[in-house]
Amino acid sequence: MDNLLATELSVSELTSLIKQTLEQGFYGLKVTGEISNFRPSSSGHWFFTLKDASCSISAVMFKGSTWKVDFTPQEGDKVTVTGGLDVYGARGTYQLKCDTMEKSGFGQILAMLEMRKRHYASLGYFDEKSKKAIPKRPLRVGVVTSPTGAALQDILNILERRAPSLDVLVLPATVQGEGAASSIAKRIQQANNLLLCDVLIVGRGGGSIEDLLPFSEESVIEAIHASEIPVVSAVGHEIDWALSDFVADLRAPTPSAAAELVSQGYLDYRNQVAHLHVQLQRSIENRLLLAESKIRRFDTKAMEARIGSIISAKEYLLANAGNTLVIAQKQLLKSYAGRVELAIRELQALSPLAILARGYAVVQNQEGKLVASRKQAEPGSLLTLTFTDGSRKALVKE
């Protein structure tokens, strides 16, 4: 460097020296300025100019760093970047190569919010025990939000789908910028003064931390705290927050979620009724099945079978009894037969014919009268002699 004055340099040599000097001399910088001429490239790099009232500097942020920035810079955004200088030799230009970017004042805003939060916490504004219950089935939902915002459309759509009979009253408010906080606070007071609804959703869609600031303003915090009507705070996206979330009776992560919360009771009812509907049908079906099964015992076929079985049992009994009778009769007959035989034998013993067998004969006259004396047998009369094996005629001689 000492002999730089005496040396003849090529453009490349000079550029190289400048590059070394600037890049090694200006690193780890923290620069605040306003974004201008913001040109994101299709490859994901950001090119822009950072300027203040009197000066400007080219800046670049490469893809490897831009993804870590949680917002897309807009023309005029005041940002604070960190990085170093970078020399582009081909054009002989220098630029600020940014590694990080945040909205300027972000840190101060956070610190201010934190302080305010502690203040109201110490006043007991966030105490769980002072929170009012959100009605399960409100009759009219008030919505304090921008009448033209997407948040209102989301809320209306969800309420229509889940609780189509639920009335909605929009209390239009300015939700960002000048006058937003007082506009929001006034609507909350108005709803309370006139008792316009039985639950209030206070919120807006997503935005930058500055956009959401009105919901952290003191007038809004006071209005929510004083509200007799239960308030659901629904500010921004899930990751966003505002102090209204802490002071409200319920915090919803998004406006859509707030709509879901206030309509949950109706949805529960619908599910419960649908369930009961099914239960009724099932119960009556069971009841009818039971009745049917009782009746089925009396149908023709079953009756036939049952009566058939009763009859056949009786038939069996009867057949059995018949048999017994026949046997008894046979035995009776047999005993009669024995007695008859005996009687016959006795009779036979007494019969005169038995005497004939021993050589006696029965004598009868012509008239068939027994001849038991000689006087009845006159000589010359004809007598009949009956022997055991037949009879003969005999003539009396003397």
Partner 1 sequence: MSFETDISRIEEIAQKLNASDTSLEESIALFEEGMRLAKALEKALAEAKRSVEIVLGDDPREAEITVLQ
Task: Give the footprint of partner 1 on this chain (CB under 8 A).
Answer: 137, 147, 156, 159-160, 163-172, 186-187, 189-190, 193-194, 196, 266, 269-270, 272-274, 276-277, 279-281, 283-284, 286-288, 291
**Considering beta carbons, is residue 277 or 330 the nearer one to partner 1?**
277
**Considering beta carbons, is residue 169 or 342 the nearer one to partner 1?**
169
CB 57 within 8 A of CB 51: yes
**Cβ at position 111, least distance to partner 1 in Å:** 33
* DSSP track, 330-378: HHHHHHHHHHHHHHHHHHHHH-HHHHHHTT--EEE-TTS-B--SGGGS-
CB 197 within 8 A of CB 138: yes
Q: Both tokens of residue 319?
A: 């057949």
**Cβ at position 230, least distance to partner 1 in Å:** 19
CB 148 within 8 A of CB 204: no
Alpha carbons 56 and 36: distance in angstroms, whole number: 9
**Cβ at position 157, least distance to partner 1 in Å:** 11
Q: Both tokens of residue 261?
A: 């919360």
**Cβ at position 296, least distance to partner 1 in Å:** 14
**Cβ at position 295, least distance to partner 1 in Å:** 10
Q: Both tokens of residue 245?
A: 């979330």
Alpha carbons 254 and 262: distance in angstroms, whole number: 13
**Cβ at position 267, least distance to partner 1 in Å:** 9
249-281 core/surface letters (b: 16 or more CB in 10 A; e: else): bbbbbbbbbbbbbbbebbeeeeeeeeeeeeeee
**Considering beta carbons, is residue 135 or 253 the nearer one to partner 1?**
135
**Cβ at position 194, least distance to partner 1 in Å:** 5
**Considering beta carbons, is residue 182 or 365 the nearer one to partner 1?**
182
Kind and range of the H or E run holding 142: strand 140-145
**Considering beta carbons, is residue 147 or 308 the nearer one to partner 1?**
147
**Considering beta carbons, is residue 127 or 285 the nearer one to partner 1?**
285
Integer angstrom CA distances of residue 208 from 46, 50, 67, 115, 216: 19, 20, 17, 20, 13
**Cβ at position 112, least distance to partner 1 in Å:** 28
**Considering beta carbons, is residue 60 or 258 the nearer one to partner 1?**
258
Alpha carbons 318 and 323: distance in angstroms, whole number: 9
Dihedral angle sign, alpha carbons of residues 180, 184, 189, 195? positive
* β-bridge pairing 140-145 and 93-103: unpaired
Integer angstrom CA distances of residue 369 from 189, 314, 359, 366, 372: 159, 66, 20, 7, 9
**Considering beta carbons, is residue 271 or 323 the nearer one to partner 1?**
271
**Cβ at position 242, least distance to partner 1 in Å:** 22
Kind and range of the H or E run holding 235: strand 231-235
Spatial neighbors of 181 by CB under 8 A, at least 6 apart, are: 213, 214, 215, 217, 218, 219, 220
**Considering beta carbons, is residue 61 or 185 the nearer one to partner 1?**
185
**Cβ at position 184, least distance to partner 1 in Å:** 12
